Amino acid sequence: MAGNITGINTVSAQSTPDYSNANYTPQYMGKIIPNDNTFTDNRRKLNFVYDEIPYEDQLQNPVTFSDFTIAPGNGGVEFRWRTAWEPGNLKLYEIEYSKDGITFQQAGVVPAGNYLSGRAYEFRHYPVNTHDRLFYRLRIVDQTGRYAYTNIVPVAATGTTDNYIFPTIVNAGNVSLYLNDSFKLVQIVDMQGRILQTELLDGRTGRIDIPLSKSATGICIVRVLGQQPERNIVQKIFIR
């Protein structure tokens, strides 16, 4: 109620929805809404649906795009976009994808350049075991946490992809494995050959996110080890 000092709204008993009524439809039917325990977690582990951005969370100075393309290529899905103008407090671009065009999950993050005259960006997503079309969008975020979305773009993604490690320049403290084959474990090794971290994979496939330990900094090696040494994956990464 407006003007209530305590800020508590009162609702009469008659206005409470009758959940036993066969005609009752929940307000968030079919939507996945983050709860208090998961909302602050890494977005790439969650599914999100937002029908409408609350006014207080809307990006006040939208980015101006001069070019925006998403297409299959080089074993994955390639993003290329160019901005004609970016606000000075722009923080990053989050690439999100969906299998149904309704619930989205993070594929990766690209830091914003904060160029008033704009700049070009690239990103490549490697979906695993995908035989159907996917849906993509950018979530544009500024330093205050305000955000906006681009339009959703459907992309035909057929076939499977090779085993892959991404990103090679780590800003968020996580490295992701995209695995079609089974492997035993993954190791993070520094340039002196010291094993900083070991995670068991136990044959898991698909996307596997590995939170990096605080001891992993600078140039390191990611080693994904399997039953056959000739099929091991070795990737150099730079951890900021």
Matching fold, domains 55-156 and 164-239: yes
CA atoms within 13 A on the CB side of 75: 9
Domain range 55-156, its CATH number among 3.40.980.10, 1.10.3470.10, 2.160.10.10, 2.60.40.10: 2.60.40.10
Contacts of residue 73, Cβ cutoff 8 Å, sequence gap at least 6: 124
Task: Give start and end residues of each alpha helix (H) in the chain.
Answer: none
Name the CA radius of gyration of the chain, rounded.
Answer: 22
pTM of the predicted model as reported, rounded to 2 decimal places: 0.49
Judge contact between 157 and 134, C-beta under 8 A: yes
The CATH code belonging to domain 164-239 is 2.60.40.1930
Cα of 219 vs its chain's centroid, Å: 24
What is the residue-level pLDDT of the chain in tens, covering all 240 positions? 333 333 333 333 334 444 334 443 334 333 333 333 343 444 434 444 444 566 677 877 788 888 888 887 766 788 889 999 888 889 999 999 888 778 888 888 999 987 778 889 999 887 765 556 788 999 999 999 889 998 888 887 655 556 778 788 888 888 888 887 889 999 999 999 999 999 999 888 878 889 999 999 999 999 999 888 778 889 889 998
- Enumerate the domain spans of the chain: 55-156, 164-239
Amino acid at 110: V
Reference 70, options 166, 165, 138; nearest CA is: 138
CA torsion sign, 233 to 159 to 77 to 59?
negative
Pairing of strands 169-170, 233-239: parallel
